[in-house]
């Protein structure tokens, strides 16, 4: 089993996997695990609080789906505001990752990378 995700990374990853299709919580967690080749684990105890915050912030919306058989489940969809926030957060994360990489590789030409 993979490494558990830090809380701060969960919203970005949730928004990212919802770009492909609406999903219920369990499917969101499993897709993150699948895309990480099972090196990351997202537990429901961390996922659902993050989904509630994303929904309160208007970045995702949810609707109940009632299948012909089995229990009803909440399906989450990325909103237009969520898509814009995803772009913003992804760019910030990429800048951060470049900065960390710059530091751990010893930098180049003495230049610093802004965070």
7 lies in a domain?
yes
Domain of 20 in residue numbering reads as 3-104
Give the confidence band of 54 by pLDDT, cuts at 50, 70, 90: very high
Give the confidence band of 43 by pLDDT, cuts at 50, 70, 90: confident
Residue that is written with structure tokens 């910030």 in the block: 92
pTM of the model: 0.83
Instruction: Classify burial at 51, counting beta carbons within 10 Å of its beta carbon; exposed 0-12, middle 13-18, buried 19 or more.
Output: buried
Average pLDDT of the residues in 24-50:
92
What's the CATH code of the domain at 98? 1.10.10.10
CA 85 to CA 26: how far, in whole Å?
Answer: 23
> Would you say residue 9 has pLDDT above 90?
no
73 lies in a domain?
yes
Give the confidence band of 44 by pLDDT, cuts at 50, 70, 90: confident
110 lies in a domain?
no
Pair of tokens at residue 54: 């994303």
62 lies in a domain?
yes
Domain count, the chain: 1
Beta bridge partners of 65: 73
């Amino acid at each position: 089993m993979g490494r558990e995700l830090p809380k701060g990374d969960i919203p970005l990853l949730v928004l990212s996997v919802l770009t492909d299709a609406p999903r219920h919580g369990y499917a969101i967690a499993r897709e993150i695990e699948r895309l990480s080749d099972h090196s990351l684990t997202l537990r429901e105890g961390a996922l659902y609080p993050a989904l509630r915050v994303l929904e309160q912030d208007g970045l995702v919306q949810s609707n109940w789906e009632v299948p012909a058989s089995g229990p009803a489940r909440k399906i989450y969809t990325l909103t237009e505001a969520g898509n814009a926030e995803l772009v913003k957060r992804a760019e910030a994360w990429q800048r951060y990752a470049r900065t960390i990489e710059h530091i751990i590789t010893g930098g180049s030409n003495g230049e610093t990378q802004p965070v």
